Amino acid sequence: MPWEVDLSKVRDYLILMLISGSIVALDQWTKWFVRNNLALGETWSPFPWLAPYARIVHWNNTGAAFGLFPDGGTVFMIVAVIVTAAIIYYFPQIPSEKIAYRLALGMQLAGALGNLIDRVLQGPVTDFVSIGRFAVFNVADSSISIGTAILIIAMWADERKQTKIQESSTGQAVQERISSSEQTE
């Protein structure tokens, strides 16, 4: 029937929307708060002694995360659209038991969308978290970075698991060959 709905895909997309939607909402709210409470370039820290280490600063970023490639705004809009489409397509194909993969992709989608919203509506992306001498960033940038780290760790863990399984099955095969050759002698 042409109107049948695959409920597992609906569930998958609801999970993706919950993960990414929550992060996008937090990202957009924090950026709105900073834009409405600090002048561009203005810095705030709750304690003067903390200011050299961590502070909030209203900053505009026309490039990628952490201020990289400052003149690449249009390119990053295109990349965000491609990444968004790829994640939306690929997400339901990930088995539901691969929670780390799903979380990672949800976080990466949220980061891409959060900064894309800024680029479309504001022009530059609003950054505001400043720690030490590290580049100023925002919730979306953090979401992309943490999502990428989770994805790398999950892939590494899966690869290690597969290697152990292969080594175990190879060891069993060798053991069986030794046993069968001993029995034929």
Residues taking part in catalysis: 127, 141
- Quote the tokens at residue 90: 């690929």
Is the backbone of residue 42 left (phi > 0), alpha (psi -120 to 50) or beta? beta
Burial grade of 117 (CB within 10 A; 0-12, 13-18, 19 or more): middle
Residues 6+ apart with CB under 8 A from 101: 94, 151, 154
Give the Cβ contact number of residue 42 at 10 Å.
Answer: 12
End-to-end Cα spacing for the chain: 63
- Rounded to whole angstroms, how far apart are CA atoms 162 and 160? 5
Helix locations, the chain, DSSP H: 7-37, 73-90, 99-121, 139-184
